[in-house]
């Protein structure tokens, strides 16, 4: 297993001999307005892709989408990806994918298998209270296959019982966490804060955490250096990788 952070939550995962694209956001920098009612109002994405969008989608064999907020599934992705590419997502998003012309859509309510790879859907909470309810539903995915380490892609969620349960149930070798502590002008964070990432580390000390979802969307206020500083202070920094855009992370190390 190898994982490349493309940008934000967009990942290329080489897994069991296959190339998987997760949460493609492929718009050019500044293509969209700021998130409504959010701090730091700048056009999104804040930064360009590290390689061209065409190069990101080249060789992709299957796509996983945790939910269809525009920082996880955007119009450039919908335009560039071949319409017959196998696409897995949560049941609530099936109609959207089909309306965009995708023909090989598999909604995962619990689990699915694609070419020897088990894909189990996990839950999450995209914020608390009214905001959390408005942002729902969101999903994460656990990947497993013969001879491969277990990978948990938590999706857009804060630390919550669903994440705790996924860690306990699947013992992932690697967990991709969407940090950034995204927030609106009102209410609490809707993605993981540094404290949330640290809590994951302490709950699953054998899991390598890879923190992404930072510095690419205007309302993600936690930066990579803030997170690195806080992970260091909490003495979990050896457990937390914080890749740059375009950087590969080896899943077996
Ligand atoms: Zn997000």
Convert 178-193 into a string of H (helix), E (strand) and C (coil): ECCCCCCCCCCCCCCC
Residue 26: C-alpha distances to residues 57, 91, 202 (Å): 9, 23, 33
Looking at residue 252, its pLDDT comes to 66
Looking at residue 46, its pLDDT comes to 98
Q: Reply yes or no on whether the pLDDT at 253 is more than 80.
A: no
Looking at residue 251, its pLDDT comes to 81
Tokens of 214: 């930072």
Q: How many angstroms does the Cα of residue 122 sit away from the middle of ligand 1?
A: 16
Q: How many angstroms does the Cα of residue 147 sit away from the middle of ligand 1?
A: 30
Tokens of 207: 């899991």
Residue 115: C-alpha distances to residues 15, 50, 86, 122, 149 (Å): 11, 29, 11, 20, 16
Q: How many angstroms does the Cα of residue 17 sit away from the middle of ligand 1?
A: 27
Q: For residues 188-193, give the mean pLDDT.
A: 96
Average per-residue pLDDT for the chain: 97
Judge contact between 226 and 237, C-beta under 8 A: no
- What value does the CA radius of gyration of the chain take, rounded to a whole number of Å? 17
Q: For residues 104-119, give the mean pLDDT.
A: 98
- Residues with CB under 5 Å of ion ligand 1 are 71, 156
Residue 124: C-alpha distances to residues 150, 178, 226 (Å): 18, 11, 24
* Residues paired with residue 21 on neighbouring β-strands, in sequence order: 12, 63
Tokens of 232: 């260091």
Q: CB 140: neighbour CB atoms within 10 A?
A: 26
Q: Reply yes or no on whether the pLDDT at 121 is more than 60.
A: yes
Q: How many angstroms does the Cα of residue 192 sit away from the middle of ligand 1?
A: 10
Whole-structure pTM value: 0.97
Q: For residues 139-163, give the mean pLDDT.
A: 97
Residues 241, 64: Cα–Cα separation, whole Å: 22
Residue 165: C-alpha distances to residues 26, 155, 173, 253 (Å): 32, 14, 15, 24
Q: How many angstroms does the Cα of residue 22 sit away from the middle of ligand 1?
A: 12
Residue with tokens 């993605």: 191
Q: For residues 212-227, give the mean pLDDT.
A: 98
Strands 87-89 and 117-122 come out as: unpaired
Q: For residues 103-124, give the mean pLDDT.
A: 98
Q: How many angstroms does the Cα of residue 215 sit away from the middle of ligand 1?
A: 11
Q: Reply yes or no on whether the pLDDT at 145 is more than 60.
A: yes
């Amino acid at each position: 297993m190898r994982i490349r952070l493309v940008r934000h939550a967009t990942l290329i995962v080489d897994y069991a001999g296959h190339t998987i694209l997760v949460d493609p956001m492929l718009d050019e920098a500044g293509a969209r307005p700021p998130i409504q009612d959010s701090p730091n109002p700048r056009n999104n994405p804040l930064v360009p892709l590290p390689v061209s969008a065409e190069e990101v989608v080249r060789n992709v064999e299957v796509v996983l989408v945790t939910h269809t907020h525009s920082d996880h599934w955007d119009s450039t992705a919908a335009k560039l990806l071949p319409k017959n590419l196998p696409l897995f997502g949560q049941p609530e998003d099936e109609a959207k994918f089909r309306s965009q012309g995708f023909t090989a859509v598999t909604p995962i309510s619990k689990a699915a298998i694609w070419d020897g790879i088990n894909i189990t859907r996990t839950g999450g909470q995209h914020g608390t209270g009214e905001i959390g309810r408005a942002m729902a539903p969101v999903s994460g995915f656990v990947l497993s296959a013969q001879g491969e380490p277990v990978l948990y892609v938590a999706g857009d969620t804060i630390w919550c019982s669903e994440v705790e349960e996924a860690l306990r149930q699947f013992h992932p070798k690697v967990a991709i966490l969407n940090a950034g502590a995204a927030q609106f002008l009102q209410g609490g964070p809707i993605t993981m804060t540094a404290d949330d990432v640290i809590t994951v580390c302490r709950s699953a000390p054998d899991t390598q955490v890879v923190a992404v979802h930072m510095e690419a969307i205007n309302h993600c206020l936690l930066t990579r250096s803030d997170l690195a500083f806080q992970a260091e202070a909490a003495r979990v920094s050896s457990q937390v990788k914080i890749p740059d855009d375009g950087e590969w992370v080896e899943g077996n190390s």
